[in-house]
Amino acid sequence: MRNLTLTSGFLLLEFSQIRELQILHFFVFLGLYLITVIGNLLIIFVIALDHHLHRPMYFFLMNLAVSDIGSVSFIQPKSVVNSIMNNNHISYAACVTQVFFIFLFGCSNFTVLTIMAHDRYVAICNPLQYEVIMNKGACIQIITIAWITSILYAVLHTAGTFSISFCSNRVDQFFCEVPKLLKLSCSDLYLVEVGLLAFSCISVFGCFVFIIVTYVWILTTVLKMPSEQGRHKALSTCLPHLLVVSVFVSTGLFAYIRPPNSNSPSGLDLVFAVMYTLLPPMMNPFIYSMRNKEIQTALRKLLSLKHFCDTFPRYIQKCLGLPIIFLPRS
């Protein structure tokens, strides 16, 4: 069966077999995908073009936006194309690629969120040392380690998943979700990947606890601030991040915290899969721009045609002279 899977690929779960609903799925998910990509691209361009945002917090936010675009771009387009083409097939190579990038961007997403919690902690609880601790060199090292770790993490899980033999090629999900692939295993090698997933869940829980403890210290410091304006400014930068973390963790753990032989209804799995793959990347730009006055101001400037025409040529010229412009000045 393994040779058959290698040549024929996998059959994914359809949202519906009714043609009208397939067309509806195409337009709805295409629209949601475009909103996600455009929203995150706006965040990237705003941070890149506005020199007032060339600070660590926004540098990490830009990396989060890149991760969000990547995470949806390797899941949603294939699902949208399959719906309009009335086809649920995915090749073996495409499935491997999908699994790799799901883990890559999933890991980078949560890693960046953890780094952003540390950044807020230093900025609020130790402001006098902030420029020293979060300098340009430190930002480069931190984000480089985060992406290298994510790549190694994705390689490990992808190799563990596709080292097994498959008894079937029918995946009970609209993309190549690892727990669903493990249910198709014909050998005990799938236990290795189950162990890796369990370790990943423990690591994610550990990072989540770190973020919660960090924000307890932040909240304690904020409540001690004598200035109401200072408290409001600190909370305006922390609350969006905490909300993003909550949405990401609450929607994502459902699919991976259960054993792979779970017999829960496919419809429920489908709903939660849509939530954790599409909802956090789509909501992140709105959450961050909703309470952040600096991003709102930069967005208004970016959407101003005159300001864009004045700024963009200078930005290109600066890029040619300085390859890295997004980092804070040490």
Range of the domain at 295: 2-321
288: closest CA among 326, 245, 324?
245
In a domain, 330, yes or no: no
In a domain, 147, yes or no: yes
Is residue 256 pLDDT above 70, yes or no?
Answer: no
In a domain, 90, yes or no: yes
- pLDDT confidence bin for 263, thresholds 50/70/90: low
In a domain, 287, yes or no: yes
Q: pLDDT higher for 290 or 22? A: 22
Q: pLDDT higher for 268 or 18? A: 18
Q: pLDDT higher for 252 or 135? A: 135
In a domain, 329, yes or no: no
Type and span of the H or E element at 89: strand 89-90
In a domain, 327, yes or no: no
In a domain, 247, yes or no: yes
Take residue 233 and report the two structure tokens written for it: 């400014």
Mean pLDDT of 46-60: 88
Q: pLDDT higher for 284 or 193? A: 284
- pLDDT confidence bin for 96, thresholds 50/70/90: very high
pLDDT value at residue 98: 94
- β-bridge partners, 166: 185
Give how far the C-alpha of residue 71 lies from the chain's centroid of Cα atoms, to the nearest Å. Answer: 6
Determine the Cα–Cα distance for residues 161 and 99; give it in Å rounded to an integer. Answer: 9
Is residue 267 pLDDT above 60, yes or no?
Answer: yes
pLDDT value at residue 325: 44
Query: Are the C-beta atoms of residues 13 and 173 closer than 8 Å to each other?
Result: yes
pLDDT value at residue 314: 57
- pLDDT confidence bin for 329, thresholds 50/70/90: very low
pLDDT value at residue 53: 85
CATH code where residue 84 lies: 1.20.1070.10
Quote the number of domains for the chain. Answer: 1
Q: How far apart are the first and last CA of the chain?
A: 58
In a domain, 328, yes or no: no
